[in-house]
Chains A and B, each alone.
Chain A
Protein backbone atom coordinates (compact mmCIF):
# COMPACT_ATOMS: atom_id res chain seq x y z
CA UNK A 1 0.00 0.00 0.00
CA UNK A 2 2.65 2.56 1.08
CA UNK A 3 4.90 1.61 -1.81
CA UNK A 4 2.02 2.55 -4.13
CA UNK A 5 1.74 5.92 -2.35
CA UNK A 6 5.45 6.50 -2.92
CA UNK A 7 4.98 5.67 -6.61
CA UNK A 8 1.92 7.90 -6.76
CA UNK A 9 3.99 10.75 -5.34
CA UNK A 10 6.43 10.26 -8.21
CA UNK A 11 3.61 9.81 -10.79
CA UNK A 12 5.08 6.37 -11.51
CA UNK A 13 1.91 4.41 -10.94
CA UNK A 14 -0.39 2.63 -13.38
CA UNK A 15 -4.16 2.99 -13.81
CA UNK A 16 -5.01 -0.18 -11.91
CA UNK A 17 -2.93 0.88 -8.91
CA UNK A 18 -4.59 4.32 -8.88
CA UNK A 19 -8.00 2.62 -8.87
CA UNK A 20 -6.89 0.30 -6.05
CA UNK A 21 -5.71 3.26 -3.97
CA UNK A 22 -8.86 5.28 -4.55
CA UNK A 23 -11.07 2.28 -3.74
CA UNK A 24 -9.73 2.31 -0.16
CA UNK A 25 -11.66 5.42 0.81
CA UNK A 26 -11.22 4.88 4.55
CA UNK A 27 -7.43 4.97 4.09
CA UNK A 28 -7.28 8.19 2.07
CA UNK A 29 -6.36 10.29 5.11
CA UNK A 30 -3.31 8.04 5.56
CA UNK A 31 -2.46 8.36 1.86
CA UNK A 32 -2.57 12.15 2.07
CA UNK A 33 -0.53 12.16 5.27
CA UNK A 34 2.19 10.00 3.69
CA UNK A 35 2.26 12.23 0.60
CA UNK A 36 2.64 15.26 2.84
CA UNK A 37 5.65 13.67 4.59
CA UNK A 38 7.19 12.72 1.24
CA UNK A 39 6.70 16.32 0.09
CA UNK A 40 8.61 17.55 3.13
CA UNK A 41 11.49 15.17 2.40
CA UNK A 42 11.47 16.22 -1.24
CA UNK A 43 11.61 19.92 -0.30
CA UNK A 44 14.62 19.38 1.95
CA UNK A 45 16.48 17.41 -0.72
CA UNK A 46 15.70 20.02 -3.37
CA UNK A 47 16.70 22.79 -0.96
CA UNK A 48 13.23 24.33 -1.21
CA UNK A 49 11.80 26.30 1.66
CA UNK A 50 10.33 23.71 4.00
CA UNK A 51 6.86 24.34 5.34
CA UNK A 52 5.89 22.65 8.59
CA UNK A 53 3.09 20.14 8.02
CA UNK A 54 -0.21 21.96 7.69
CA UNK A 55 -3.77 20.71 7.59
CA UNK A 56 -4.73 22.83 4.60
CA UNK A 57 -5.75 19.79 2.53
CA UNK A 58 -8.15 18.69 5.28
CA UNK A 59 -9.67 22.18 5.40
CA UNK A 60 -10.03 22.31 1.63
CA UNK A 61 -11.60 18.84 1.47
CA UNK A 62 -14.04 19.72 4.29
CA UNK A 63 -15.15 22.70 2.22
CA UNK A 64 -15.38 20.57 -0.93
CA UNK A 65 -17.46 17.95 0.92
CA UNK A 66 -20.09 20.67 1.29
CA UNK A 67 -20.08 21.16 -2.49
CA UNK A 68 -22.43 19.19 -4.76
CA UNK A 69 -20.77 16.13 -6.29
CA UNK A 70 -19.62 16.46 -9.90
CA UNK A 71 -21.40 14.02 -12.21
CA UNK A 72 -19.70 14.20 -15.60
CA UNK A 73 -20.49 17.86 -16.10
CA UNK A 74 -23.75 17.67 -14.18
CA UNK A 75 -24.07 17.95 -10.44
CA UNK A 76 -25.68 15.73 -7.89
CA UNK A 77 -26.74 17.07 -4.52
CA UNK A 78 -24.80 15.96 -1.51
CA UNK A 79 -27.06 13.98 0.81
CA UNK A 80 -26.31 16.48 3.56
CA UNK A 81 -26.82 19.46 1.28
CA UNK A 82 -30.49 19.37 0.34
CA UNK A 83 -30.65 23.04 -0.65
CA UNK A 84 -28.86 22.38 -3.90
CA UNK A 85 -30.95 21.62 -6.99
CA UNK A 86 -30.13 18.14 -8.26
CA UNK A 87 -30.46 16.77 -11.76
CA UNK A 88 -28.79 14.09 -13.82
CA UNK A 89 -28.54 13.61 -17.52
CA UNK A 90 -30.84 10.56 -18.02
CA UNK A 91 -34.02 12.01 -16.49
CA UNK A 92 -33.48 15.17 -18.55
CA UNK A 93 -32.97 13.20 -21.76
CA UNK A 94 -35.98 10.99 -20.92
CA UNK A 95 -38.23 14.03 -20.43
CA UNK A 96 -36.99 15.49 -23.70
CA UNK A 97 -37.79 12.22 -25.53
CA UNK A 98 -41.33 12.16 -24.08
CA UNK A 99 -41.87 15.78 -25.21
CA UNK A 100 -40.71 14.92 -28.73
CA UNK A 101 -43.10 11.92 -28.92
CA UNK A 102 -46.05 14.00 -27.64
CA UNK A 103 -45.31 16.84 -30.06
CA UNK A 104 -44.96 14.46 -32.99
CA UNK A 105 -48.19 12.60 -32.12
CA UNK A 106 -50.12 15.85 -31.73
CA UNK A 107 -48.86 17.04 -35.11
CA UNK A 108 -49.97 13.81 -36.81
CA UNK A 109 -53.43 13.92 -35.22
CA UNK A 110 -53.89 17.50 -36.37
CA UNK A 111 -52.87 16.67 -39.94
CA UNK A 112 -55.16 13.60 -40.03
CA UNK A 113 -58.12 15.47 -38.60
CA UNK A 114 -57.80 18.22 -41.22
CA UNK A 115 -57.63 15.75 -44.09
CA UNK A 116 -60.60 13.75 -42.68
CA UNK A 117 -62.78 16.84 -42.43
CA UNK A 118 -61.83 17.84 -45.95
CA UNK A 119 -62.81 14.34 -47.16
CA UNK A 120 -66.19 14.53 -45.42
CA UNK A 121 -66.88 18.00 -46.77
CA UNK A 122 -66.14 16.90 -50.30
CA UNK A 123 -68.04 13.61 -50.54
CA UNK A 124 -70.39 12.78 -47.65
CA UNK A 125 -72.15 16.09 -47.00
CA UNK A 126 -74.70 17.18 -49.58
CA UNK A 127 -73.81 20.36 -51.45
CA UNK A 128 -76.94 22.24 -50.36
CA UNK A 129 -76.12 21.68 -46.70
CA UNK A 130 -72.61 23.04 -47.22
CA UNK A 131 -74.05 26.09 -48.97
CA UNK A 132 -76.54 26.52 -46.13
CA UNK A 133 -73.67 26.18 -43.68
CA UNK A 134 -71.76 28.97 -45.35
CA UNK A 135 -74.86 31.15 -45.40
CA UNK A 136 -75.67 30.57 -41.73
CA UNK A 137 -73.88 32.00 -38.73
CA UNK A 138 -71.51 29.62 -37.09
CA UNK A 139 -72.70 30.31 -33.54
CA UNK A 140 -76.34 29.40 -34.18
CA UNK A 141 -76.76 26.12 -32.29
CA UNK A 142 -80.27 25.49 -33.65
CA UNK A 143 -78.87 25.37 -37.17
CA UNK A 144 -76.44 22.57 -36.29
CA UNK A 145 -79.21 20.58 -34.57
CA UNK A 146 -81.38 20.86 -37.70
CA UNK A 147 -78.51 19.79 -39.94
CA UNK A 148 -77.96 16.76 -37.75
CA UNK A 149 -81.63 15.75 -37.97
CA UNK A 150 -81.77 16.16 -41.75
CA UNK A 151 -78.64 14.05 -42.19
CA UNK A 152 -80.40 11.15 -40.40
Chain B
Protein backbone atom coordinates (compact mmCIF):
# COMPACT_ATOMS: atom_id res chain seq x y z
CA UNK B 1 0.00 0.00 0.00
CA UNK B 2 1.51 3.26 -1.10
CA UNK B 3 0.54 6.39 0.78
CA UNK B 4 -1.24 9.12 -1.15
CA UNK B 5 0.99 11.06 -3.45
CA UNK B 6 0.06 14.51 -4.70
CA UNK B 7 1.77 15.65 -7.89
CA UNK B 8 1.79 19.30 -6.90
CA UNK B 9 3.12 18.59 -3.40
CA UNK B 10 6.15 20.77 -2.79
CA UNK B 11 7.70 18.15 -0.56
CA UNK B 12 8.90 16.21 -3.62
CA UNK B 13 12.28 17.77 -4.38
CA UNK B 14 14.62 16.90 -7.21
CA UNK B 15 18.27 17.72 -6.54
CA UNK B 16 20.85 17.30 -9.25
CA UNK B 17 23.92 19.20 -10.47
CA UNK B 18 23.28 21.83 -13.13
CA UNK B 19 19.63 21.70 -12.35
CA UNK B 20 19.07 18.78 -14.76
CA UNK B 21 17.27 15.56 -13.99
CA UNK B 22 19.79 12.87 -13.20
CA UNK B 23 18.28 9.61 -12.03
CA UNK B 24 21.47 8.40 -10.38
CA UNK B 25 21.71 11.49 -8.18
CA UNK B 26 18.02 12.29 -7.85
CA UNK B 27 16.89 12.58 -4.26
CA UNK B 28 13.18 12.31 -3.61
CA UNK B 29 11.93 13.30 -0.20
CA UNK B 30 9.02 11.13 0.89
CA UNK B 31 5.60 12.75 0.57
CA UNK B 32 3.97 13.45 3.92
CA UNK B 33 0.96 11.09 3.73
CA UNK B 34 -0.96 13.11 6.30
CA UNK B 35 -0.67 16.27 4.24
CA UNK B 36 -1.41 14.45 0.99
CA UNK B 37 -4.61 12.97 2.43
CA UNK B 38 -5.67 16.37 3.78
CA UNK B 39 -5.04 17.95 0.38
CA UNK B 40 -7.15 15.28 -1.29
CA UNK B 41 -10.01 15.89 1.17
CA UNK B 42 -9.67 19.67 0.79
CA UNK B 43 -9.87 19.39 -3.01
CA UNK B 44 -13.03 17.32 -2.69
CA UNK B 45 -14.53 19.80 -0.22
CA UNK B 46 -13.71 22.63 -2.63
CA UNK B 47 -15.77 20.79 -5.27
CA UNK B 48 -18.76 20.62 -2.94
CA UNK B 49 -18.20 17.32 -1.11
CA UNK B 50 -19.31 18.08 2.45
CA UNK B 51 -18.57 14.51 3.53
CA UNK B 52 -14.91 15.06 2.71
CA UNK B 53 -14.95 18.15 4.90
CA UNK B 54 -16.63 16.13 7.67
CA UNK B 55 -13.60 13.81 7.71
CA UNK B 56 -11.33 16.83 8.16
CA UNK B 57 -13.59 17.96 11.02
CA UNK B 58 -13.38 14.54 12.65
CA UNK B 59 -9.63 14.44 12.19
CA UNK B 60 -8.87 17.86 13.62
CA UNK B 61 -11.69 18.83 15.99
CA UNK B 62 -10.01 17.33 19.05
CA UNK B 63 -6.62 18.80 18.14
CA UNK B 64 -8.22 22.20 17.60
CA UNK B 65 -10.06 21.75 20.91
CA UNK B 66 -6.71 21.16 22.66
CA UNK B 67 -5.22 24.21 20.96
CA UNK B 68 -8.07 26.50 21.98
CA UNK B 69 -7.97 25.12 25.54
CA UNK B 70 -4.61 26.88 25.88
CA UNK B 71 -6.36 30.22 25.45
CA UNK B 72 -9.88 29.63 26.82
CA UNK B 73 -10.75 27.44 29.82
CA UNK B 74 -14.52 27.19 29.69
CA UNK B 75 -15.61 23.99 27.89
CA UNK B 76 -18.78 25.40 26.32
CA UNK B 77 -16.87 28.44 25.06
CA UNK B 78 -14.22 26.16 23.55
CA UNK B 79 -16.99 24.16 21.82
CA UNK B 80 -18.37 27.37 20.29
CA UNK B 81 -14.95 28.58 19.17
CA UNK B 82 -14.08 25.22 17.59
CA UNK B 83 -17.43 25.19 15.78
CA UNK B 84 -16.99 28.79 14.55
CA UNK B 85 -13.46 28.02 13.38
CA UNK B 86 -14.60 25.08 11.25
CA UNK B 87 -17.47 27.11 9.77
CA UNK B 88 -15.03 29.91 8.87
CA UNK B 89 -12.66 27.34 7.40
CA UNK B 90 -15.48 25.86 5.32
CA UNK B 91 -16.53 29.28 4.03
CA UNK B 92 -12.94 30.07 3.06
CA UNK B 93 -11.97 26.62 1.77
CA UNK B 94 -12.26 27.82 -1.84
CA UNK B 95 -9.36 30.19 -1.17
CA UNK B 96 -7.11 27.52 0.35
CA UNK B 97 -4.39 26.83 -2.20
CA UNK B 98 -2.28 24.36 -0.23
CA UNK B 99 0.70 26.70 0.28
CA UNK B 100 0.73 25.59 3.90
CA UNK B 101 -0.56 22.39 5.49
CA UNK B 102 -4.32 22.34 6.06
CA UNK B 103 -3.91 22.02 9.82
CA UNK B 104 -1.59 25.06 9.96
CA UNK B 105 -4.20 27.08 8.08
CA UNK B 106 -7.00 25.73 10.28
CA UNK B 107 -5.08 26.41 13.51
CA UNK B 108 -4.47 30.02 12.49
CA UNK B 109 -8.20 30.42 11.94
CA UNK B 110 -8.77 28.82 15.37
CA UNK B 111 -6.30 31.12 17.13
CA UNK B 112 -7.81 34.23 15.50
CA UNK B 113 -11.34 33.10 16.35
CA UNK B 114 -10.31 32.53 19.98
CA UNK B 115 -8.64 35.96 20.14
CA UNK B 116 -11.73 37.66 18.70
CA UNK B 117 -13.88 35.77 21.20
CA UNK B 118 -11.75 36.98 24.11
CA UNK B 119 -11.80 40.57 22.82
CA UNK B 120 -15.61 40.41 22.48
CA UNK B 121 -15.76 39.45 26.17
CA UNK B 122 -13.55 42.41 27.06
CA UNK B 123 -10.63 40.12 27.86
CA UNK B 124 -7.16 40.76 26.58
CA UNK B 125 -5.81 37.82 24.56
CA UNK B 126 -2.44 36.62 25.70
CA UNK B 127 0.32 37.92 23.42
CA UNK B 128 2.26 35.01 21.88
CA UNK B 129 5.78 35.02 20.52
CA UNK B 130 6.69 33.22 17.28
CA UNK B 131 7.96 30.16 19.17
CA UNK B 132 4.67 29.73 20.94
CA UNK B 133 2.71 30.11 17.71
CA UNK B 134 4.98 27.56 16.03
CA UNK B 135 4.51 25.18 18.94
CA UNK B 136 0.74 25.64 18.78
CA UNK B 137 0.75 24.92 15.06
CA UNK B 138 2.67 21.71 15.65
CA UNK B 139 -0.38 19.64 16.47
CA UNK B 140 1.58 16.55 17.49
CA UNK B 141 2.68 18.40 20.63
CA UNK B 142 -0.91 19.20 21.49
CA UNK B 143 -1.31 16.38 23.98
CA UNK B 144 -2.18 18.41 27.00
CA UNK B 145 -5.72 19.55 27.55
CA UNK B 146 -6.05 22.68 29.64
CA UNK B 147 -9.69 22.83 30.58
CA UNK B 148 -11.19 22.91 34.01
CA UNK B 149 -12.00 19.23 34.53
CA UNK B 150 -14.89 18.07 36.67
CA UNK B 151 -14.55 15.06 39.00
CA UNK B 152 -16.94 13.17 36.73
CA UNK B 153 -14.93 13.86 33.55
CA UNK B 154 -11.71 12.87 35.33
CA UNK B 155 -13.31 9.61 36.48
CA UNK B 156 -14.61 8.89 32.99
CA UNK B 157 -11.19 9.57 31.42
CA UNK B 158 -9.56 7.23 33.94
CA UNK B 159 -12.09 4.49 33.17
CA UNK B 160 -11.48 4.85 29.44
CA UNK B 161 -7.71 4.69 29.95
CA UNK B 162 -8.02 1.61 32.19
CA UNK B 163 -10.28 -0.15 29.66
CA UNK B 164 -7.94 0.57 26.74
CA UNK B 165 -4.84 -0.48 28.68
CA UNK B 166 -6.56 -3.67 29.87
CA UNK B 167 -7.67 -4.53 26.33
CA UNK B 168 -4.14 -3.94 25.00
CA UNK B 169 -2.67 -6.34 27.54
CA UNK B 170 -5.04 -9.08 26.36
CA UNK B 171 -4.26 -8.63 22.66
CA UNK B 172 -2.29 -11.33 20.80
CA UNK B 173 1.39 -10.36 20.62
CA UNK B 174 1.44 -9.50 16.90
CA UNK B 175 -1.58 -7.19 17.22
CA UNK B 176 -0.19 -5.49 20.34
CA UNK B 177 3.18 -4.99 18.70
CA UNK B 178 1.68 -3.58 15.48
CA UNK B 179 -0.55 -1.03 17.21
CA UNK B 180 2.20 -0.03 19.67
CA UNK B 181 4.66 0.59 16.84
CA UNK B 182 2.06 2.71 15.10
CA UNK B 183 0.61 4.70 18.01
CA UNK B 184 3.49 4.92 20.49
CA UNK B 185 6.51 4.89 18.17
CA UNK B 186 4.70 6.70 15.36
CA UNK B 187 6.01 4.44 12.60
CA UNK B 188 4.37 4.25 9.19
CA UNK B 189 2.99 0.96 7.84
CA UNK B 190 6.03 0.42 5.63
CA UNK B 191 8.45 0.75 8.57
CA UNK B 192 6.31 -1.55 10.72
CA UNK B 193 6.24 -4.12 7.91
CA UNK B 194 10.05 -4.06 7.77
CA UNK B 195 10.38 -4.40 11.54
CA UNK B 196 7.81 -7.19 11.82
CA UNK B 197 9.03 -8.83 8.61
CA UNK B 198 5.61 -9.11 7.04
CA UNK B 199 3.70 -7.52 4.10
CA UNK B 200 2.19 -4.05 4.52
CA UNK B 201 -1.29 -5.55 4.03
CA UNK B 202 -0.71 -7.72 7.10
CA UNK B 203 0.33 -4.67 9.14
CA UNK B 204 -2.78 -2.85 8.02
CA UNK B 205 -4.95 -5.81 9.00
CA UNK B 206 -3.24 -6.28 12.39
CA UNK B 207 -3.62 -2.63 13.35
CA UNK B 208 -7.26 -2.68 12.31
CA UNK B 209 -7.97 -5.86 14.31
CA UNK B 210 -6.23 -4.44 17.36
CA UNK B 211 -8.33 -1.29 17.18
CA UNK B 212 -11.55 -3.17 16.66
CA UNK B 213 -10.85 -5.48 19.63
CA UNK B 214 -10.15 -2.50 21.91
CA UNK B 215 -13.12 -0.53 20.54
CA UNK B 216 -15.43 -3.46 21.35
CA UNK B 217 -14.38 -3.20 25.02
CA UNK B 218 -14.84 0.57 24.92
CA UNK B 219 -18.33 0.60 23.41
CA UNK B 220 -20.32 -0.09 26.62
CA UNK B 221 -18.34 2.65 28.37
CA UNK B 222 -18.93 5.12 25.53
CA UNK B 223 -22.67 4.39 25.58
CA UNK B 224 -22.73 5.11 29.32
CA UNK B 225 -20.78 8.32 28.67
CA UNK B 226 -23.26 9.46 26.01
CA UNK B 227 -26.20 8.88 28.35
CA UNK B 228 -24.51 10.73 31.19
CA UNK B 229 -23.19 13.74 29.19
Contact = CB atoms under 8 A, between A and B. Distances in A.
Interface of A: 2-3, 6-8, 10-15, 18, 22, 25, 28, 31-32, 34-57, 59-61, 63-65, 67, 69-76
A71 B47 contact: yes
Given A41-B218, A44-B161, A45-B168, A32 B55 contact: yes
5 contacts: A7-B204, A15-B4, A32-B58, A54-B79, A76-B48
Given A12-B189, A44-B161, A22 B87 contact: no
A46 to B, nearest CB: 6
Contacts of A56: 61, 65, 79, 82-83
B4 A6 contact: no
Interface residues of B, number: 71
A46 B183 contact: yes
A112 to B, nearest CB: 45
B2 interface: yes
Contacts of A22: 44, 49, 51-52, 55
A71 B49 CA distance: 9
Given A18-B41, A22-B52, A45-B168, A52 B160 contact: yes
B207 A6 contact: yes
A15 B160 CA distance: 33
Nearest to A48: B143
Interface of B: 1-4, 33-34, 36-37, 40-41, 44-55, 57-59, 61-62, 65-66, 79, 82-83, 86-87, 90-91, 93-95, 143-145, 153, 156-157, 160-161, 164-165, 168, 179-180, 182-184, 188-189, 204-205, 207-208, 211-212, 214-215, 218-219, 222, 225-226, 229
A57 to B, nearest CB: 5
B21 to A, nearest CB: 25
A10 to B, nearest CB: 7
A53 to B, nearest CB: 5
Contacts of B41: 18
B2 A14 contact: yes
Nearest to B157: A50
B72 to A, nearest CB: 15
B89 to A, nearest CB: 10
Given A14-B4, A70-B45, A45 B164 contact: yes
A57 B59 CA distance: 10
B3 A11 contact: yes
B90 A70 contact: yes
A21 B180 CA distance: 26
B31 to A, nearest CB: 11
Nearest to B167: A41
